[in-house]
Amino acid sequence: MTAREALIESASTAWRPRGAGAVRAHPAWADLDEAGRLAAYEATRLLRRLEAALDPEGLSTTARAVLARISG
Amino acid sequence: MAAADPAAISPGDELLAAIGAGDTAGFARWLAGAEGRLRDSLRSFAGIVDVEAVLQESLLRVWQVAPRVIPDGRPDPLLRLAIRIARNFAVSELRRSRLEPVEIEALERLAATGGELPAGPDRSGDPILRRAIEECRRRLPRKPALALQARLESGGTEPDDQLAERVGMRRNTFLQNFTRARRFLADCLRKRGIDLAVELS
């Protein structure tokens, strides 16, 4: 796995840092060039579809992360 | 005061009312159908903002303002609002970055066109696809299966470092196994005549 591939895979997680304010970009995303960011977007798009299809409620990890934050 | 005409209340309006009243299960149902379309609406920003972060922040804001949303008779009021919020948030993120003013102006024009819904049907809840993915998942080798399961179970609440440690892998090994899982599933689905990339295009 190249360093670039590792960054793309890292950025595909739904985990994002959050301090007192808004949800922030993933550190790995910040290290990618524009083509890498587009690749991360497309990989994430497919991944969320897979996750939602595997989830009994049809929820991706993005949706789960949002619901977890709402529930505190 | 005149009673509401039951025929004028759509299932979408009922879901919006439930979400506005703080029904998280209703919000989860809405998320299941809306997330993909919202993500697709942000594709033009994907090279310059972290769409995943913008998406999550926008969904949190939608939840906060949902009690004040009034149906306007057009379909998907909450999704249209979510797209506007997401595009405006993306532009505000760009303002915080070092982007050239001319690029920001172009993106502001793009954001101003927001609100229209991405084309395509709601693809959530396809039972045939779900069965195929589950069958392919059962065939995953052990370590890739562990990496995939760790991310699914954490539901985006923990960074990969923590997940890797939990399953006894170094971070890079965890990422390699996750990549293997993703590729294995894509190949397995393709052998069954399902190409996710084509389906989502």
Calpha distance B183→B190 (Å, rounded)? 10
Residue B1 has pLDDT above 50, yes or no: no
Element of type H or E holding A55: none
Task: Give pLDDT tens digits for B44-101.
Answer: 999 999 999 999 999 999 999 999 998 888 888 999 999 999 999 998 888 877 666 6
Q: Which of B137, B155, B185 is nearest residue A61 as measured by Cβ atoms?
A: B155
Distance from CA of B70 to the nearest CA of A (A): 22
Task: Categorise residue B168: left if φ over 0, alpha if ψ from -120 to 50, beta otherwise.
Answer: left
Calpha distance B59→B35 (Å, rounded)? 9
Q: Identify the closest residue of chain A to B48 by CA–CA distance.
A: A34
| Structural tokens at position B17 | 């009312």
Q: Which of B28, B158, B196 is nearest residue A59 as measured by Cβ atoms?
A: B28
CB–CB contact B200 A29 (8 Å): no
pLDDT higher for B73 or A61?
A61
CB–CB contact B178 A50 (8 Å): no
Residue A60 is predicted with a pLDDT of 96
Q: Which of A9, A41, A55 is nearest residue B178 as measured by Cβ atoms?
A: A9
Residue B99 is predicted with a pLDDT of 63
A54 in B contact zone (CB under 8 Å): yes
Task: Give pLDDT tens digits for B8-46.
Answer: 556 678 899 999 999 999 999 999 999 999 999 999 999
Q: Is the ipTM of this complex over 0.85?
A: yes
Residues of chain B with Cβ-Cβ distance to A37 below 8 Å are 46-48, 50
CB–CB contact A46 B126 (8 Å): no
A23 pairs with which residues across the strands?
A18
pLDDT higher for B151 or B101?
B151
Calpha distance B45→B146 (Å, rounded)? 33
Calpha distance A8→A29 (Å, rounded)? 7
Question: How many C-beta atoms lie closer than 10 Å to residue A30's C-beta?
Answer: 13
Nearest to A50 by CA among B116, B191, B5, B197: B197
Element of type H or E holding B136: helix B127-138
Residue B4 has pLDDT above 50, yes or no: no
Task: Give pLDDT tens digits for A3-56.
Answer: 999 999 999 999 999 877 889 999 999 999 999 999 999 999 999 999 999 999
Q: Identify the closest residue of chain A to B45 by CA–CA distance.
A: A38
Calpha distance B177→B181 (Å, rounded)? 6
Task: Give pLDDT tens digits for B166-191.
Answer: 999 999 999 999 999 999 999 999 99
Q: At what angle do helices A3-11 and A34-54 cross, to 10 degrees?
A: 50
Nearest to B89 by CA among B62, B67, B116, B71: B62
Residues of chain B with Cβ-Cβ distance to A42 below 8 Å are 197
DSSP state of A23: B
CB–CB contact A66 B56 (8 Å): yes
Calpha distance B134→B195 (Å, rounded)? 15
